[in-house]
Chains A and B, each alone.
Chain A
Amino acid sequence: EIVMTQSPATLSVSPGERATLSCRASQSVSSNLAWYQQKPGQAPRLLIYGASTRATGIPARFSGSGSGTEFTLTISSLQSEDFAVYYCQQYNNWPQWTFGQGTKVEIK
Chain B
Amino acid sequence: QVQLVQSGAEVKKPGASVKVSCKASGYTFTSYDINWVRQATGQGLEWMGWMNPNSGNTGYAQKFQGRVTMTRNTSISTAYMELSSLRSEDTAVYYCARGRKGDYWGQGTLVTVSS
A residues in contact (CB < 8 Å) with B? 34, 36, 38, 43-46, 49, 55-56, 87, 89, 91, 94-102
Contact = CB atoms under 8 A, between A and B. Distances in A.
B59 A95 contact: yes
B47 A98 contact: yes
6 closest A-B pairs (Cβ-Cβ)?
A: A43-B105, A97-B47, A95-B50, A99-B45, A49-B101, A95-B59
Main secondary structure of the interface of A (DSSP, over half): loop
Contact of A91 (B37, B101, B108): B101
B59 A44 contact: no
B102 interface: yes
B89 interface: no
Contact of B44 (A91, A95, A97, A101): A101
Nearest to A1: B62
B103 A102 contact: no
User: Which among B44, B61, B97, B101 has the greatest number of chain A C-beta atoms within 10 A?
Assistant: B101
Contacts of B46: 99
Contacts of A99: 44-47
A34 B47 contact: no
Q: Give the interface residue-count category, chain B.
A: 20 to 34
29 contacts: A34-B101, A34-B102, A36-B102, A38-B45, A43-B95, A43-B106, A43-B107, A43-B108, A44-B45, A44-B95, A44-B97, A45-B105, A46-B101, A46-B102, A46-B103, A55-B101, A55-B103, A56-B103, A89-B45, A91-B101, A94-B100, A95-B33, A96-B47, A96-B50, A99-B44, A99-B45, A99-B46, A101-B44, A102-B45
Contacts of A91: 100-101
Given A36-B102, A46-B102, A102-B44, 19 more contacts: A43-B105, A43-B106, A43-B107, A43-B108, A44-B45, A44-B95, A44-B97, A45-B105, A46-B103, A49-B103, A55-B101, A55-B103, A56-B103, A87-B44, A89-B45, A95-B100, A96-B59, A97-B37, A102-B45
A80 B103 CA distance: 23
